[in-house]
């Protein structure tokens, strides 16, 4: 998907964030019969369009501190502005903080987050 033209906005966890997952669960996701599940998790970190940090802040201001975005997995993530930080709430109510913004890519932009964002 990420090799397509885009543009895309990716909320990318670090390798360290993936290593925090339960080892059994992580190894299970890498098995071939769980390819669809892994794809869904990856696509849950991606939204269509190029949303720079300033675009996200503008949307949060317009939405009184909250905005929902549809992901490529078909789920919604909710961005929340709280105490001058931006968090992403996933379908399970877990929160991930955006820790770095506006890493430009040829087909969009990447924002680094501190946790994996799980779909339903």
Q: Residue 113 pLDDT > 90, yes or no? A: yes
Q: Residue 48 pLDDT > 60, yes or no? A: yes
**What's the confidence (pLDDT) of residue 7?**
95
The whole-number average pLDDT for the span 23-36 is: 71
Q: What is the 3-state secondary structure (H, E, C) of the chain?
A: CCCCCCCEEEEEECHHHHHCCCHHHHHHHCCHHHHHHHHHHHHCCEEECCCCHHHHHHHHHHCCCEEEEECCCCCEEEEEEECCEEEEECCCCCEEEEEEEEEEECCEEEEEECCCCCCC
Q: Residue 1 pLDDT > 60, yes or no? A: no
The partner residues of 100 in beta bridges, in order of sequence, read 112
**What's the confidence (pLDDT) of residue 93?**
92
Domain 8-113 fold is FAS1 domain (2.30.180)
- pTM for this model (two decimals): 0.85
């Amino acid at each position: 998907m990420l090799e397509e033209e885009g543009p895309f906005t990716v909320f990318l966890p670090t390798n360290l964030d993936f290593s925090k997952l339960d080892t059994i669960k992580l190894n299970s996701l890498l098995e071939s019969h769980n390819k669809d599940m892994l794809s869904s998790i990856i696509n849950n970190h991606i939204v269509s369009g190029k949303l720079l940090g300033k675009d996200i802040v503008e949307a949060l201001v317009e939405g009184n501190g909250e905005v929902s975005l549809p992901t490529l997995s078909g789920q919604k993530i909710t961005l929340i502005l709280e105490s001058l930080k931006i968090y992403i709430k996933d379908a399970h109510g877990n929160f991930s903080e955006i820790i770095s913004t506006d890493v430009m890519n040829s087909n969009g932009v990447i924002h680094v987050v501190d946790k994996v964002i799980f779909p339903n």
